[in-house]
Amino acid sequence: MIKTQMEVQCKKLTSFWMRQEYKSVKDKFEKPFSLTLENLGLDNSLKTELKLMQNYKGLGCTVWDGSIVLTKLFEHDTDLRKHLMQSRVVELGAGCGLVGIALVHLGTKFVMMTDMEVCLQTLRENVKHNCQKFKNIEVKSYVWGDDIGSLVEEHGQFDVIVAAEVLYDENSSRLLALSAQKLLAKDGMMFVSMGRNRNGQGIFKDVMVKHGYGIEDIPNERLHPLYQDEIIKVIKVTKNDQ
């Protein structure tokens, strides 16, 4: 009995999945990253394996733990998935593209994936490899704080914004918040995940709250049961007058 209790406690501390931060540099930058999406199709009986290339070109060119947890949240939450089917989504700081690519497979109406130029070749290759049968996904270059005209000229503001592991410094997080406010539809929502690198979390929240947005922590129990993690946190941002 004592051994069983210790094993259970160990599982709670280490989680049920192998986080990227514990993997070798070779695994994080040289080898493809694979993740299986489950419960797909009208009867939730289908699954597919996503395979993403990683490299040393930039910090965004490896899969971060926050993007895995965020992906699995959308896969697990039935209400969110129903909402996504009617939603235009933009991902800010898409990196390798895990979250946005997964959202397309989960039935999202439209997904636009954005990042800096350094990440775009890897991002486009991963979209091409994993989304051959989809027409409702687009990749564009965008730097936070820049004019949003090219992002909204065709599709308008977005119903959902997603951003994974992006709050790593105060200046870029402030610019992210300012861009998000312009991109998000009045009744839209934004999901941001983060791991240990949260140096910009405070300024991001301050800017959003100052401009009339509310911040809600997603409870751990709402995350996918196998991806509930003591380090990874997900927040939801919405306009206060919704």
End-to-end CA distance of the chain: 50
Predicted TM-score of the model (pTM): 0.92
Of 143, 179, 165, residue with least CA distance to 71: 165
Task: Count other C-beta atoms under 10 Å from residue 16's C-beta.
Answer: 12
Measure the CA–CA gap between 225 and 15, rounded to whole angstroms. 10
Q: What pLDDT is recorded for position 119?
A: 95
8-state DSSP, 60? G
pLDDT band at 5 (very low <50, low <70, confident <90, very high): very low
Measure the CA–CA gap between 234 and 23, rounded to whole angstroms. 22
Measure the CA–CA gap between 75 and 226, rounded to whole angstroms. 12
What b/e readout covers 25-55, taking b as 16+ CB neighbours within 10 angstroms? eeebeeeebebebeebeeeeeeeeebebbbe
In this predicted structure, the answer to whether residue 14 has a pLDDT above a threshold of 70 is: no
| Average pLDDT of the segment spanning 68-95 | 96
Q: What are residue 223's phi and psi, to 5 degrees?
A: -75, 165
Match 């997964």 to its residue by tokens. Answer: 102
In this predicted structure, the answer to whether residue 39 has a pLDDT above a threshold of 60 is: yes
Average pLDDT, the chain: 91
Q: Residue 107 burial (CB < 10 Å; 0-12/13-18/19+)?
A: middle
- In the chain, the domains with their CATH numbers are 2-239 (3.40.50.150)
pLDDT band at 41 (very low <50, low <70, confident <90, very high): confident
| Average pLDDT of the segment spanning 62-82 | 96
Percentage with pLDDT > 70 across the chain: 93
In this predicted structure, the answer to whether residue 11 has a pLDDT above a threshold of 70 is: no
pLDDT band at 45 (very low <50, low <70, confident <90, very high): confident
Q: Which amino acid is at 45?
A: S
Q: Among 8-17, 98-107, 127-136, name the one with the lowest average pLDDT.
A: 8-17
Rounded alpha-carbon distances, angstroms, from residue 113 to 13, 132, 162, 202: 33, 16, 10, 25
In this predicted structure, the answer to whether residue 32 has a pLDDT above a threshold of 60 is: yes
pLDDT band at 7 (very low <50, low <70, confident <90, very high): very low
